[in-house]
Structure 1
Amino acid sequence: MTLTTTDVTVIVSTLACFAAMYKESKKSTLSLPPGPQRWPIFGSLFSMPGDDDMREKFVEWKHKYGDVVYARVLGQEIVILNSREAAFELLECRSFKYSDRPRLVMANELVGWGNSLATMAYGDRHKRMRKLFHEGMSPKAIQKLDYMLENEMTRFVQNLLEAPEKLHSHARRATNATVFKVTYGYDVKDGYDPILAKAEETVDMFSYVTLPGTWLVDSFPSLKHLPWAPFKSKVQEWQKLVYEFRDMPADFTIDRMARGKHEPSLMSNWFDRAEEQPGGRTDEDDLFIKWAGASIHGGATDTTISAIQTFFLAMIYYPEVQKAAQAEIDRFVGNDRLPKLSDRDSLPYLEAVCKEVLRWQPVAPFAIPHRLGPEDDIYQGMRIPAGCILIPNIWGMSRDPTIYGDPETFKPERFIDTENHEAEFDVQNYIFGFGRRRCPGIALAQSSVWLAVVMVLAVYDITPTLDASGKPIMPDLKYSQSTISAPKPFPCTIKPRSLNAEKLIRDSIEGQAPRV
């Protein structure tokens, strides 16, 4: 019998259908990952951690259920990845499946963060913005801006001399000023700065509205249509805040460019490139570039501030680390100048200190969740359900005793190769996220934290504040439970290491005009 083309097509199609049905039936027989008990309707709701114990609960679940844990809360399926192996396999190696974000009804659809790189849906717009960042924020590109970072961190060191008790506000100002300078060519004013104030308020709000499990509307999107929903009044206020945050610094750059008075920045470079494209720069280009700028600031500031604060905490608790780092600086930099980014390759222990800061207290302990696409996946014989959200337990990875010896202790030497010790797994491979959602501003963040650490240690001693009886006041190590985790404000004593160090700080002030 001779088969026609139509016959072949029918047979192939039928076999393909049977193969697909078999594959689906095989998937349906696979077990979901283990996890806490699930009840009808509510699922695992009553087992989920509260605001104060996510770290402890997820570590407990790892010991009880394993590296991959499944929970379902009010219909939303959640998979928690407790090991770097599971996170790398799914979020890195299979990133084409796992690069989307949860719907985030509150943050994206109501408040207006849907066009920010960190939370936007995966697609062409996301790829276009990441390309902008990779071109403008690569290590080579950031190296050209070293002088900007060094100027702002020099001001940080100076401000600590004048008012050491204001450590936290100085750290916030220095980090924000660095990001504003690099992104917009904008100098943050001394004293009150309206753009800085707006940015700080907006970034704090971002951490609040993106925290998983906070908003009922994220589980029941139809609630957003209820005019009397209790969150509606705050939503309008937050929307206004987001759009002002997006526009104010970008409009500054646009105005300065129009008058020919702008400084080189990421924003001015992006606007110039948009002008060169066929058809010139459009309103859509302007809006896209504004969102790119807002994405940099939103992703770079609170994370860097938290890391700097963690560094000060670590120096209070581990004075021997402080002394070892200062000895390395004295050996290779000397005492007659402040360190620069060009010294970085000569200071391996300082590099290890910065890595340990990121591991000891991760700035984003659970990152921003990923979402699996429209098809189920399989991992080690377990079914990962389509559309589930995945939470990488970065905190748990940083505490894994099979990777890090004595993980609760601050030990920079763990990252240094010696004859008797192989360097432990580099925290920077996962602390900044995974796959196509990995933070594109890594070079800026690393340089900013390193510069703050090395400049402070070059000229200051950091010790606990003493109480009335002369006993040291050891700060609380409990961190906030928001998307970006940070310590509570804490007292500490910051004093110049010597008269020569104080003179070095004061000499660096000369020639820096106040900003108005």
Structure 2
Amino acid sequence: MAQTYILLWFAIVLCVARVLLIGRRPKGYPPGPPTIPILGNIHQMPTRDAHLQFQKWAQQYGPIYSLILGTKTLIVLSSDEVVKELLDKRSNNYSDRQEMYIGQTLCSNDLRLLMMGYGQRWRAFRKMVHALLNISAAKSYVPYQMLENKQMLYQMLHEPDRFLENIRRYSNALTTSMVFGWRTPTYEDASMKQLFDGFSEFAAINQTGTAALIDFFPLLRKLPDFVLPTQKKAKDLHKHEKELYLGHWLAAKKAMSDGTIKPCFCVGMAEAQKKDGFSDDQAAYISGTLLEAGSDTTSSTLYAFVQAMLLYPDVQRTAQAEIDKVVGPDRLPTMDDEPSLPYIRGCVKETLRWMPTTILGAVPHAATKEDTYMGYTIPAGAGIMNNVWAINMDPTRSPDPRKFDPSRYINDTQSLSESAANPDATKRDQFTFGAGRRICPGIHVAERSLFLGMSRMTSAFNFTPMKHPETGDSILPDQDSLTQGFVCMPEEFQVKITPRNAKKAELVRREWEEAEQALLDPVTKQWVESPAETVGAEKI
């Protein structure tokens, strides 16, 4: 009997000891802030402006540090060289994802490509996406980009107080054209509103402390939804999101059957579905999350650029002077002007550096196998974070990093993708698009959308502060006030948008009216025929 009690107490002590080991940083791991039993560093995770705390830890613990989050480990990469070495050069080991129960299982039913684990399934779907968005395909979308840009400028001319809505419609319509073959002619489109609202809710749910606890302590998943309402919110979001994405996909399939669909990604995906047999739900999420990503990040970056023009009027004047010299007064810039507008190219790169939408690398990568780097152990299954904000704001890379200065890139002739692939990490422009095999596949399309958006807005309009109605003082936004979530943008701000002169206003008006009359159905406002079959980019 005594022996039984001794064994029982020994088992209890052993269990307690093992539980107390949870949350401790094992010997040999990269350094990091002190931990406490069970939680590790969870109690230190910020609820707002997480990027600032991750930057502070990088300054304290170096370019690679670790956070112990309950039962999981997060390795944070905070220098260009570390990201290049691990995420790029060792990408075969650093392209996986940790399990994300709230984001991938409940919100997405394991269908969201962004959070999908690395393997044959992910690689096959990524290959399809690459076919839509590679450099050759990106050039063919310029007619779509030009048309949507013309409508955006026209709406800025007539509805300057709705410029965020106009920017969002621009990026959304371009993405629906590429993915589904139809455009979004108005911001009041219910599907577009649902998309932006749904993505905001998705980001908010996945930022909650409850979501993190459920990820880090899997036993909590057995609790009912009334105890953990985040779980119910995630399930409800998936239901509505799936309805939206599946509706778009099935409508595209019907248009294919009717022979009315325009060239787009869904045509190729339908062929792949016949060959590989994946479900309509999976196809819906692949196309839907492409729409999600293309709509949100481009519009957020353009919104940040408008804020920069407001806060840095000297930059605005320099950009306008370059455009006036190269393009002249009688037209607005096109993609053909890009090589001759290095300062505008610098504006694209600087906006992505200065106000990164994926401020902490969006979703962390994960290590497939244990590895060692700089003498540290990186365990299998550890999350690997690309600390974008800390790298983009590194003063050794970008002196006075919170200053918006496109001249940093005046001699940088690389495209965004060429820069990301540069073997010299110090020569990479910014890290907002990610790295390795998980780098954003839309980088080629985004670069063109951003160049056209920035160059043509700056050519046509002045961006100046609104005035306080009582004091007459300029109302300027705080450039460090950002929305919260794993994808962010500046908090909403006011700006006065006016045409630079009457000739510019007439250019904007005429370009859109001529394009609308020549290319779109007068009732539906959809393309009458495929732009690839009817007209080149230079003619619209």
Residue 350 (str. 1) matches residue 337 (str. 2):
no
Q: One-letter code of the match for 2:284?
A: K
SS at match of 1:250: helix
Once the two structures are superposed, residues 191-245 of structure 1 have per-residue CA deviations (whole angstroms, 9 ceiling, x without a partner) of: 5323212222222233224448551211122323323332243133112122123
Residue 36 (str. 1) matches residue 38 (str. 2):
no
Once the two structures are superposed, residues 382-431 of structure 1 have per-residue CA deviations (whole angstroms, 9 ceiling, x without a partner) of: 1112221121110000111111122111111111229xxxx995555522
2:352, 2:430 within 8 Å by CA — same for their partners in 1?
Answer: no
**TM-score, normalised by the number of residues in structure 1:** 0.88
Q: Say if 1:372 and 1:491 are closer, same or farther in 2 by CA, change over 3 A.
A: closer
Write the distance in 1 (CA, Å) between the matches of 2:403 and 2:219.
Answer: 47
C-alpha displacement at 1:295, in angstroms?
2.6
Partner of 2:484: 481
Partner of 1:453: 454
SS at match of 1:364: coil
Partner of 2:166: 170
Equivalent residue runs for 1:329-348 within 5 Å = 329-348=323-342
Q: Say if 1:238 and 1:507 are closer, same or farther in 2 by CA, change over 3 A.
A: same
Q: Say if 1:199 and 1:270 are closer, same or farther in 2 by CA, change over 3 A.
A: same
C-alpha displacement at 1:68, in angstroms?
1.1
Q: Of residues 79, 83, 99 in structure 1, which corresponds to 2:75?
A: 79
Q: One-letter code of the match for 1:256?
A: A
Q: Say if 1:163 and 1:151 are closer, same or farther in 2 by CA, change over 3 A.
A: same
2:203, 2:485 within 8 Å by CA — same for their partners in 1?
Answer: yes
2:80, 2:426 within 8 Å by CA — same for their partners in 1?
Answer: no
C-alpha displacement at 1:105, in angstroms?
0.3
Q: One-letter code of the match for 2:222?
A: H
Identity of aligned residues (%): 30
2:353, 2:431 within 8 Å by CA — same for their partners in 1?
Answer: no
SS at match of 1:52: coil
1:115, 1:291 within 8 Å by CA — same for their partners in 2?
Answer: yes
Residue 497 (str. 1) matches residue 505 (str. 2):
no
1:355, 1:426 within 8 Å by CA — same for their partners in 2?
Answer: no
Partner of 2:17: none
Write the distance in 2 (CA, Å) between the matches of 1:514 and 1:158.
Answer: 19
C-alpha displacement at 1:287, in angstroms?
4.3
1:37, 1:47 within 8 Å by CA — same for their partners in 2?
Answer: no
Write the distance in 1 (CA, Å) between the matches of 2:475 and 2:249.
Answer: 43
C-alpha displacement at 1:56, in angstroms?
2.1
Q: Of residues 397, 400, 414 in structure 2, which corresponds to 1:403?
A: 397
Q: One-letter code of the match for 1:394?
A: V
1:171, 1:305 within 8 Å by CA — same for their partners in 2?
Answer: yes
Partner of 2:359: 365
Write the distance in 2 (CA, Å) between the matches of 1:115 and 1:372.
Answer: 18
Once the two structures are superposed, residues 229-286 of structure 1 have per-residue CA deviations (whole angstroms, 9 ceiling, x without a partner) of: 3224313311212212321222222122221111111212332x338xxxx5576264
SS at match of 1:368: coil
C-alpha displacement at 1:514, in angstroms?
6.2
Write the distance in 2 (CA, Å) between the matches of 1:427 and 1:471.
Answer: 40
Write the distance in 1 (CA, Å) between the matches of 2:251 and 2:427.
Answer: 39
Write the distance in 2 (CA, Å) between the matches of 1:386 and 1:167.
Answer: 46
Q: One-letter code of the match for 1:254?
A: K
Q: Say if 1:70 and 1:151 are closer, same or farther in 2 by CA, change over 3 A.
A: same
Q: Say if 1:71 and 1:281 are closer, same or farther in 2 by CA, change over 3 A.
A: closer
1:33, 1:383 within 8 Å by CA — same for their partners in 2?
Answer: yes
Q: Bigger shift: 241-250 or 443-452? A: 241-250
Which segments of 5 or more consecutive residues in structure 2 lack a partner in the other structure?
1-24, 413-423, 517-521, 526-540
SS at match of 2:372: strand
Write the distance in 1 (CA, Å) between the matches of 2:345 and 2:281.
Answer: 38
Write the distance in 2 (CA, Å) between the matches of 1:110 and 1:175.
Answer: 28
Which segments of 5 or more consecutive residues in structure 1 lack a partner in the other structure?
1-27
Partner of 1:25: none
Residue 302 (str. 1) matches residue 296 (str. 2):
yes
1:414, 1:424 within 8 Å by CA — same for their partners in 2?
Answer: no
2:242, 2:285 within 8 Å by CA — same for their partners in 1?
Answer: no
Residue 221 (str. 1) matches residue 218 (str. 2):
yes
Tell me the number of residue pairs that the alignment of Structure 1 and Structure 2 aligns: 479
1:360, 1:410 within 8 Å by CA — same for their partners in 2?
Answer: yes
Partner of 2:272: 274
Partner of 1:6: none
1:67, 1:82 within 8 Å by CA — same for their partners in 2?
Answer: yes
SS at match of 1:302: helix
Partner of 2:240: 241
1:415, 1:424 within 8 Å by CA — same for their partners in 2?
Answer: no
SS at match of 1:510: helix
Equivalent residue runs for 1:17-416 within 5 Å = 31-48=28-45, 50-112=46-108, 114-190=110-186, 192-211=188-207, 215=211, 216-227=213-224, 228=226, 229-271=228-270, 273-274=271-272, 280=274, 284=278, 286-373=280-367, 375-416=369-410
Q: Bigger shift: 188-197 or 357-366? A: 188-197
C-alpha displacement at 1:338, in angstroms?
2.3
C-alpha displacement at 1:368, in angstroms?
3.0
**TM-score, normalised by the number of residues in structure 2:** 0.84
Write the distance in 2 (CA, Å) between the matches of 1:431 and 1:80.
Answer: 15
SS at match of 1:158: helix
Write the distance in 2 (CA, Å) between the matches of 1:184 and 1:426.
Answer: 37
Once the two structures are superposed, residues 289-312 of structure 1 have per-residue CA deviations (whole angstroms, 9 ceiling, x without a partner) of: 333212311222211111011100
Q: One-letter code of the match for 2:400?
A: D
SS at match of 1:358: helix
Q: Bigger shift: 143-152 or 133-142? A: 133-142
C-alpha displacement at 1:316, in angstroms?
0.7
Partner of 1:10: none
Q: Say if 1:76 and 1:222 are closer, same or farther in 2 by CA, change over 3 A.
A: same
Q: One-letter code of the match for 2:237?
A: W
Q: Bigger shift: 209-218 or 231-240? A: 209-218
Once the two structures are superposed, residues 89-112 of structure 1 have per-residue CA deviations (whole angstroms, 9 ceiling, x without a partner) of: 111111111111121100111111
Partner of 1:471: 473
Q: One-letter code of the match for 2:263?
A: P
SS at match of 1:96: coil
Q: Say if 1:242 and 1:191 are closer, same or farther in 2 by CA, change over 3 A.
A: closer
Write the distance in 2 (CA, Å) between the matches of 1:473 and 1:214.
Answer: 37
Once the two structures are superposed, residues 138-158 of structure 1 have per-residue CA deviations (whole angstroms, 9 ceiling, x without a partner) of: 121111111001100111101
SS at match of 1:72: strand
2:242, 2:281 within 8 Å by CA — same for their partners in 1?
Answer: no
Q: One-letter code of the match for 2:474?
A: P
Q: Say if 1:327 and 1:29 are closer, same or farther in 2 by CA, change over 3 A.
A: closer
Q: Bigger shift: 83-92 or 233-242? A: 233-242
Q: One-letter code of the match for 2:86?
A: L
1:186, 1:249 within 8 Å by CA — same for their partners in 2?
Answer: no
RMSD (CA atoms): 2.3
Q: Say if 1:515 and 1:424 are closer, same or farther in 2 by CA, change over 3 A.
A: farther
Residue 437 (str. 1) matches residue 433 (str. 2):
no
SS at match of 1:71: strand
SS at match of 2:39: coil
1:377, 1:386 within 8 Å by CA — same for their partners in 2?
Answer: yes
SS at match of 1:495: strand
Q: One-letter code of the match for 2:83?
A: A
